[in-house]
Amino acid sequence: MKPVKVGLLGLGTVGGGTVTVLARNAVEISRRAGRGIEISHAAARAYDPDRIQGLDRIGRIGDDAFAIVNDPDVQIVVELIGGYSPARELVLQAIANGKHVVTANKALIATHGNEIFAAARDRGVMVGFEAAVAGGIPIIKALREGLAANHIEWIAGIINGTGNFILTEMRDKQRDFADVLAEAQALGYAEADPTFDIEGIDAAHKLTILSSLAFGVPLRFEHCFTEGIAKVGALDVAYAAELGYRIKHLGITRRSAGGIELRVHPTLIPERRLIANVDGVMNAVLVKGDAVGPTLYYGAGAGALPTASAVVADLVDVVRTLTTDPSNRVPHLAFQPDELADIPSLPMEAVQTAYYLRLSALDQPGVMARIASILADQGISIEAIKQKEPAEGETHVPLVMLTHRVIERQMNTAIAQIEALDSVQGEVTRIRMETLSG
């Protein structure tokens, strides 16, 4: 059978990795797919030929991305340029032209996925996006197929390698935030705009996709609560460790009574959990299903070859099902499109979680009692308290508390009241805490 012809948009880190993997493993890939997969046409503004193996196997390389989506010979378009525009226009044009699409673009799927999947459904084509979440980890395949028997209860993931690398280096080597970020950028892990990594936007894109796959709801990126890691201090990392916890930047989505939680924020988790020991740029996703229990998926969440691994796996999937009736293919969002449910998202202030609190309090009798009484008035139960020795000549002492679970709205009220006390200096640092127990 003739090889399938692929049009490739982008020859950057992931595009170059995809060319390399397709060339390096061509024989095995064709044995799996049932036919060869060849890149007949690629478009890139600039690329580094020394970093890419198999460039000579590409039929034609130009710089016009629209020439690819309009090329009648191309059957599958692989979009690896990233960003919202012109990626959206290119993908929609490819679909309108009856081409299947494979993309690693999490921002595009999280924000325009509903529109893209509807267009793909109308044209009977596939859109593969395994590489959009957690790089090389086949988490989309796991959720869509491997866990299809389950009622998914929650997912918690370390889904941004740059953020995890920064938190790990801060903990292990007491390195400076900016210095570690610069290294992640040099290694090619960070987003073009690194605030996407630091502020949790990249993780929110990925979490949005995981949540829809888990719960069968439309993609709702705008409902995701996002808090970055810039305010996590070395002091908090150290105090958390003393209490037996690690701080990780987690994406959490949970089906709770009032709706679906969708939140990205720094989180204290018990250090004995496997996921607490996922360090550096590695990613991990913990999924709790009612039948299977907790399952953990670990691997490289970024980088040329790991992400290409997911892109090429999608290509193989598309090639295997080219002649399948579209209604018999695995649905884009795991649930049949007309079975997506309109379950509401739970606003952050209605989410229930435990907390780590750190504040600076005047070292005199009655202060602790006042703070405890504010917490008690809001129904907040304290699980642990640590008061540190005051520094020489200091009137205030650091006070660290762990609380039991409480609705965020009540914690907000308590924090505002504590900050208003004359005996408390500055702001209260609050980091949410999860046990992630099965």
160 near ligand HSE, judged by CB under 6 A: yes
SS3 4: strand
162 near ligand HSE, judged by CB under 6 A: yes
SS3 47: coil
Q: What is the token pair recorded at 265?
A: 């924020």
302 φ, ψ (degrees, to nearest 5): -155, 180
190 near ligand HSE, judged by CB under 6 A: yes
Instruction: Determine whether the annotation assigns residue 14 to a binding site.
Output: yes
Q: How far is the CB of 29 from ligand HSE (least distance, A)?
A: 23
317 near ligand HSE, judged by CB under 6 A: no
Instruction: Determine whether the annotation assigns residue 10 to a binding site.
Output: yes
Q: What does DSSP say about strands 4-9 and 424-433: parallel, antiparallel, or unpaired?
A: unpaired
For 193, which DSSP code? S
103 near ligand HSE, judged by CB under 6 A: no
Question: Is 100 or 249 the residue whose CB approaches ligand HSE more closely?
Answer: 249
Contact present, 193 and 201 (Cβ < 8 Å): no
Question: Is 55 or 204 the residue whose CB approaches ligand HSE more closely?
Answer: 204
Selection from 2, 3, 6 nearest residue 60 by Cα: 6
Question: Is 134 or 424 the residue whose CB approaches ligand HSE more closely?
Answer: 134
CA-to-CA dists, residue 27 to 3, 31, 35, 49, 221, angstroms: 12, 6, 10, 23, 39
Q: How far is the CB of 379 from ligand HSE (least distance, A)?
A: 38
Question: Is 116 or 132 the residue whose CB approaches ligand HSE more closely?
Answer: 132
CA distance 332 to 190: 27
269 φ, ψ (degrees, to nearest 5): -130, 150
Instruction: Determine whether the annotation assigns residue 15 to a binding site.
Output: yes
Question: Is 49 or 83 the residue whose CB approaches ligand HSE more closely?
Answer: 83
Instruction: Determine whether the annotation assigns residue 366 to a binding site.
Output: no
How many residues touch ligand HSE under the rule CB under 6 A: the total is 11
Among 39, 300, 302, 334, binds ligand HSE (CB under 6 A): 302
191 near ligand HSE, judged by CB under 6 A: yes
Among 71, 79, 169, 197, binds ligand HSE (CB under 6 A): 197
Contact present, 104 and 312 (Cβ < 8 Å): no
Among 161, 228, 289, 306, binds ligand HSE (CB under 6 A): 161
Residue window 114-153: x/- pattern of binding to ligand HSE, with contact defined by CB under 6 A: ---------------------x------------------
Alpha carbons within 13 angstroms on the beta-carbon side of residue 185 total 13
Q: Among all residues, which ones are annotated catalytic?
A: 206
With a CB cutoff of 8 Å and minimum separation 6, the contacts of 328 are none
Q: How far is the CB of 135 from ligand HSE (least distance, A)?
A: 6
CA distance 354 to 436: 11
User: Is the Cα dihedral 335, 254, 256, 351 positive or negative?
Assistant: negative
Q: Which parts are annotated binding residues for L-homoserine? A: 191
Give contact residues for ligand HSE (rule: CB under 6 A). Answer: 135, 160-162, 189-191, 197, 202, 301-302
Bind-site residues for NADP(+): 9-16
